[in-house]
């Protein structure tokens, strides 16, 4: 059992990871909007969902597998990815985790158990089930965790994988980040996802005899505690599990392209949401996972405002250094387009 001391220690490192994700994503938005040629196409950021990624990854062991989506930057950092190679990958530099091959849609980090990142809605869940299947066949106690959006439940591939993972009791954890909360937003066209007939996402998993949980995606403690239990049980053969993390979307993520309303996050907004742009105030007060964690740590006396601001300053600096690292990294040569088409040899 964790002592009170280790819980606070874990929360501090969770806070750092969450702030790092936010500061890196702010850099990504800035790079995309300040330069025409760095992030030329569509891209997706993880601001507002940090508690789900960080809470879930805290529960994973070093040998576990993780799968993510088009919205992958935050997941990879939550899993322990370094901001430098992450941003470098996002802008296609040779120092990126995949030497700039895949870009923002396909950040992959083999050393972290992230082996393939699909930008196809529904692409990840069957592969994650496959990694869980493989762990079982190979007789390891590895767990496979897959993050995906609520939109994935609209795809048939999800339901096929859900069925098989249930039939075969796979050590699979399906972490659905439902950022279409409140649901009215769907009907008003606020979210890119269209429509889903079930009122409760978790009912779908329950109908397939998969144990389902609903968790508050703004609360890293809730996510972390739930996942710590489920990962342990999945290792013991009690999987699969489905979790719906309910997320009230960051207002900057309402349109097709992210927008930093009022500029980068200011800690003053965390302490006093009323000082922020009016479009952000409710979200900062009720739903921002970073601000909620900061305020609760202060209220509990676990950290002072000053200590928290120091953590943020360090995260900001790391993100800035990562940006500089990425920008000063070499671009791939044109001819390198032709490398790594086929693997050499017959067995590895």
Ligand X SMILES: Cc1ncc(C[n+]2csc(CCOP(=O)(O)OP(=O)(O)O)c2C)c(N)n1
Q: Which residues contact ligand X by CB under 6 A?
A: 44, 70-71, 119-121, 149-152, 179, 192-193
Phi first, then psi: give them for residue 24, nearest 5 degrees.
-65, -45
Q: Is the preceding peptide bond at 146 cis, omega within 30 degrees of 0?
A: no
Query: Which residue's CB is nearer to another protein, number 313 or number 337?
Result: 337
The one of another protein, Mg ion, ligand X, none whose footprint includes residue 256, by CB under 5 to 8 A per kind, is another protein
The one of ligand X, another protein, Mg ion, none whose footprint includes residue 105, by CB under 5 to 8 A per kind, is another protein
CB of residue 108 vs another protein: minimum separation in angstroms? 10
Query: Which residue's CB is nearer to ligand X, number 84 or number 103?
Result: 103
Q: By three-state DSSP, how is residue 109 classified?
A: strand
Q: Would you say 149 and 193 are in contact if contact means Cβ atoms under 8 Å apart?
A: yes
Q: Is the preceding peptide bond at 31 cis, omega within 30 degrees of 0?
A: no
**Separation between Cα atoms, residue 233 and residue 62, nearest integer Å:** 17
Query: Which residue's CB is nearer to ligand X, number 3 or number 188?
Result: 188
The one of ligand X, another protein, Mg ion, none whose footprint includes residue 71, by CB under 5 to 8 A per kind, is ligand X
Q: Would you say 274 and 291 are in contact if contact means Cβ atoms under 8 Å apart?
A: no
**Separation between Cα atoms, residue 142 and residue 225, nearest integer Å:** 19
Q: Would you say 53 and 73 are in contact if contact means Cβ atoms under 8 Å apart?
A: no
CB of residue 70 vs ligand X: minimum separation in angstroms? 5
Query: Which residue's CB is nearer to another protein, number 75 or number 93?
Result: 93
Q: Cβ-closest residue to ligand X?
A: 149
CB of residue 19 vs another protein: minimum separation in angstroms? 28
Query: Which residue's CB is nearer to Mg ion, number 92 or number 217?
Result: 217
Q: Would you say 144 and 100 are in contact if contact means Cβ atoms under 8 Å apart?
A: no
The one of ligand X, Mg ion, another protein, none whose footprint includes residue 218, by CB under 5 to 8 A per kind, is none
User: 245: number of CA atoms within 13 Å, CB side?
Assistant: 32
Q: Give the binding site for another protein (CB under 8 A).
A: 37, 39-42, 92-93, 100-106, 118-122, 151-152, 154-157, 193-196, 256, 331-338, 341
Query: Which residue's CB is nearer to another protein, number 43 or number 133?
Result: 43
Lookup result for tokens 């489920």: 230
**Separation between Cα atoms, residue 272 and residue 283, nearest integer Å:** 12
Q: Give the binding site for Mg ion (CB under 5 A).
A: 149-150, 179, 193
């Amino acid at each position: 059992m964790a002592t009170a001391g280790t819980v606070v220690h874990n929360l501090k490192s969770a806070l750092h990871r969450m702030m790092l994700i936010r500061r890196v994503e702010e850099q990504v938005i800035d790079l995309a909007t300040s330069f025409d040629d760095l992030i030329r196409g569509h891209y997706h950021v993880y601001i507002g969902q940090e508690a789900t990624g960080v809470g879930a990854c805290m529960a994973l062991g070093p040998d576990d597998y993780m799968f993510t989506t088009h919205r992958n930057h935050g997941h990879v950092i939550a899993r322990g990815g370094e901001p430098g190679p992450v941003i470098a990958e996002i802008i296609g530099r040779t120092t990126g985790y995949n030497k700039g091959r895949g870009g923002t849609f396909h950040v992959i980090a083999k050393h972290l158990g992230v082996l393939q990142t699909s930008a196809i809605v529904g692409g990840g869940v069957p592969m994650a089930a496959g990694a869980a299947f493989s762990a079982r066949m190979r007789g390891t106690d590895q767990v496979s965790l897959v993050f995906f959006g609520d939109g994935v439940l609209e795809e048939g591939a999800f339901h096929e994988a859900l069925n098989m993972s249930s039939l075969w009791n796979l050590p699979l954890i399906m972490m659905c980040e439902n950022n279409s909360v409140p649901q009215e937003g769907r009907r008003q066209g606020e979210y890119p996802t269209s429509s889903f007939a079930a009122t409760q996402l978790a009912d779908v998993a329950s109908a397939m005899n998969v144990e389902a949980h609903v968790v508050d995606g703004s609360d890293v403690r809730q996510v972390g505690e739930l996942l710590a239990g489920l990962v342990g049980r999945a290792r013991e053969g009690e999987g699969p599990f489905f979790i719906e993390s309910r997320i009230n979307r960051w207002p900057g993520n309402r349109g097709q392209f992210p927008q930093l309303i009022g500029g980068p996050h200011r800690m003053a907004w965390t302490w006093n949401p009323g000082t922020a742009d009016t479009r952000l105030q409710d979200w900062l007060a009720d739903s921002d996972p970073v601000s909620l964690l900061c305020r609760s740590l202060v209220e509990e006396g676990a950290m002072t405002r000053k200590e928290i601001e120091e953590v943020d300053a360090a995260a900001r600096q790391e993100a800035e250094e990562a940006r500089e690292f990425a920008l000063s990294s070499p671009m791939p040569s044109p001819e390198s387009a032709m490398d790594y088409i086929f693997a050499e040899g017959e067995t590895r």
